[in-house]
Chains A and B, each alone.
Chain A
Amino acid sequence: MASAMKNSIIFLSQPMALFEKKITMNQKQNGMAGKIILGIFTGIVFIFLVIPTILVVPMSFTETRYLVFPPEGFSLQWHQEFFTNKKWVEPTIFSLKLASLTTVVSLIIGTMASLALVRGIIPGKRIVHLFFLSPMMIPLIVTAFAVYGMFANFHLIGTLPGLVIAHTIIGVPYVILIITANLYRFDTSLELAARNLGANSFKTFTNVTLPLIKPGIIAAGVFCFIESLDELVLVLFLVGTTRMTLPLRMFSEIEFRIGPTVAAASTVFIIAAIGTIIALSFIEKKEKSIGLKE
């Protein structure tokens, strides 16, 4: 579920933005036609991506012991089960811990790498840049297999640090993608101004550079968090036998029997995702009001 949300955010937001720009340009020329095309396009996206996700919500309130649509009766028992049964609570807490640590580590490594890639003098910079992004392009199963072989040697299988490292591998490219875009647009005269006014290079970074790329860091952090929370392939290889993440619990639950608790877990995910998007739009609104973003 979260996967659908995340993918729709990542893969649709950019083409959609381009599309919107084209539409507004067309509007000047032929008025309504553009609006209609945009409406149809949005409708198709809505039907194929959002509706199936939202249908899960009513299904989680069913009284039956199996998933059914339309739901029969109304009951909160599956939500209660998700929040109280150790079988669900423990994997959820473990997943949140994993996602939080992954986010922090990915942001630190990714931001430092972005600074080096944009500002540094590195021979073969473009190739190095592509290399940093390569985990995005390599099929996850290949990464998982490669990491599995190496982690086995270091006894990292089934450990939290092992999973954090694995998820950081796929989190860092997201961070680099977003932060480098931020840094290329960055007005470097602001940093010169800070130096001129008496800030050394470290204070310039903490007082000027960091606050100004903060929107990018927040966005990158959200992507990393969702990516880790949602990831299953690497987890399947590396989780071992003693640990359980939430997606893995859901997956094994679906394999075993399709119980409504999976739908309840999904509902919680969806609400959390919507909450995050609303929070982000509030931050954006504040930034627009002081002119940090146009």
Chain B
Amino acid sequence: MNNTVETPVLQLKRLTKHFGDVIAVDDVSLNIVDGEFLTLLGPSGSGKTTILNMIAGFEFPTSGDIILQGKSINLLLPEKRNIGLVFQNYALFPHMTVSENIAFPLKMRKAPKAEIKARLVDALSLVQLDDYGKRYPKQLSGGQQQRIAVARALVFEPPLLLFDEPLGALDKKLREHMQLELKRIHTRLKRTMIYVTHDQEEALVMSDRIAVVNKGRIEQIGPPDELYEEPANAFVAGFIGESNLFEGVVTGGKGDRIALTLNDRVEIMINWRERIAVGEKVRFCIRPEKLFFVDDAPADNVISGTITESIYVGETKRYSIRVNDELSINLREMSTLTGMGRREGDHVRIGWPDESVKRLS
């Protein structure tokens, strides 16, 4: 019989790290299965790099467990962990050639010369820099250095590969190219990877699963589409993509609709599946691209306001609509639809489909 439950490559169990009075990582638990590409996504200072440093062995956890392939590695020195790491600044050894850099982990493992040579060729061809072995790192471009760093981290075939914001220093075009390149390497080698970034777009493009980290805690973990479509709370909704956040008090309802007052001013009706009592507070979000302009007679799911800003951003056009002093809504529509001549100062009514209302905790 097949073992249907896969043993995770890496398990974090209630991992916590204090720096003096500061709690950098707060009770983080996580399982990563073989071949998975998991991204730790969060703003700077959220603790994501500290988590990575603890996995790599550069920091020791205050409490909790790190279990690699079934064994606790809490007290293991970094050089004994056999985990690949691609640094933010590449950390290539400037006094060694590209070949010497890539051969370094193999030499440290006392691999035979012939094997080093064969693996070196493979690693260079994997990152498509076959002829660059004799160059020094500083003679390569940023993107090439990055690829060498990836080759060096892969060459000793670690069961787990870590990336610490490896594309942060590259320009936008190159970054997008490298994202696809890393994705290609991941698909080809099926290696387990943990990727740290603050760039939500990068996380969405590359990951099998994303863990959103904030203030040392994991806010939500799941596949990219799930995080985007069903954010668990206001932080996730705001951090992944754009979001309109609403807070209101329930004033009544009929069937699966409830009436709400937003900011004590605006009365709206929305779709709400769960049971809820009058007077309760609710928080929900609607993505800007789910909103649309409506011209028709009164209906549910409608709110009116004035356009304060309209920005053309290529394939889409963004509008800022002021409902009242405290409430402003962002709406995005495809540029192909914007033939209606809406401009700043226009009074508009906007609507949304029932299913676009996402309840937040």
Contact = CB atoms under 8 A, between A and B. Distances in A.
Contacts of A165: none
Interface stretch (B112-120, B131-139, B207-215): B131-139
B218 to A, nearest CB: 24
B78 A290 contact: no
Interface string A233-268: 000000000000000000000000000000000000
B56 A196 contact: yes
A189 interface: yes
A68 to B, nearest CB: 52
Contact of A199 (B56, B85, B108): B108
Given A197-B105, A197-B156, A291-B136, A192 B58 contact: yes
Nearest to A203: B108
Contacts of A190: 91, 93-94
B87 interface: yes
Contacts of A187: 89, 91
B94 A212 contact: yes
Contact of A291 (B56, B58, B94): B94
Interface residues of A, number: 20
Contacts of B58: 192, 195
B108 A192 contact: no
Contacts of A207: 104
A211 interface: yes
B109 interface: yes
Contact of B93 (A195, A198, A200, A208): A208
- Dominant SS at the B interface? loop
A292 interface: yes
Nearest to B97: A290
A177 interface: no
A196 B95 contact: no
B89 A200 contact: no
B89 A189 contact: yes
B273 to A, nearest CB: 49
Contacts of B94: 190, 212, 290-292
B139 A193 contact: no
A117 interface: no
B82 interface: yes
A290 B92 CA distance: 13
The residue in A189, A194, A198, A207 that gathers the most chain B C-beta atoms within 10 A of its C-beta is A198
For chain B, the bracket of interface size reads: 20 to 34
The residue in A196, A290, A292 that gathers the most chain B C-beta atoms within 10 A of its C-beta is A196
B83 interface: yes
Given A203-B108, A290-B136, A291-B136, A196 B79 contact: yes
A193 B77 contact: no
A197 B86 CA distance: 10
The residue in A189, A195, A207, A292 that gathers the most chain B C-beta atoms within 10 A of its C-beta is A195
Contacts of B77: 195, 200
A292 B84 CA distance: 25
Interface in A177-227: 187, 189-190, 192-200, 203, 207-208, 211-212
Interface string B125-163: 000000000001111000000000000100010000000
A198 B89 contact: no
Nearest to A195: B78
Nearest to A192: B58
Contacts of B137: 291
Given A196-B78, A291-B137, A291-B138, A189 B105 contact: no
A194 B104 contact: yes
A196 B154 CA distance: 12
The residue in B108, B139, B156 that gathers the most chain A C-beta atoms within 10 A of its C-beta is B108
Contacts of B89: 187, 189
A212 B79 contact: no
Contact of B108 (A198, A211, A290, A291): A198
Nearest to A196: B85
Contact of A198 (B91, B136, B156): B156
Nearest to B108: A198
Nearest to B110: A198
Contact of B95 (A193, A197, A200, A292): A292
A197 B58 CA distance: 13
B78 A192 contact: yes
B138 A290 contact: yes
Contacts of B79: 195-200
A208 B59 CA distance: 21
A189 B137 CA distance: 15
A195 B89 CA distance: 16
A194 B105 CA distance: 8
Contacts of A193: 85, 87, 91-93
B103 to A, nearest CB: 10
B319 to A, nearest CB: 45
8 contacts: A189-B89, A195-B58, A195-B77, A197-B104, A197-B105, A198-B82, A199-B104, A291-B94
Query: Which 5 A-B pairs have CB atoms at the shortest separation, nearest pair first?
Result: A291-B138, A198-B108, A193-B91, A290-B136, A197-B105
Interface of B: 56-58, 77-79, 81-85, 87-89, 91-95, 104-105, 108-109, 136-139, 152, 156
Given A195-B57, A199-B104, A212-B94, 19 more contacts: A187-B91, A189-B87, A189-B88, A192-B58, A193-B85, A193-B92, A194-B104, A195-B58, A196-B85, A197-B79, A197-B105, A198-B82, A198-B109, A199-B108, A208-B93, A290-B139, A291-B136, A291-B137, A292-B94
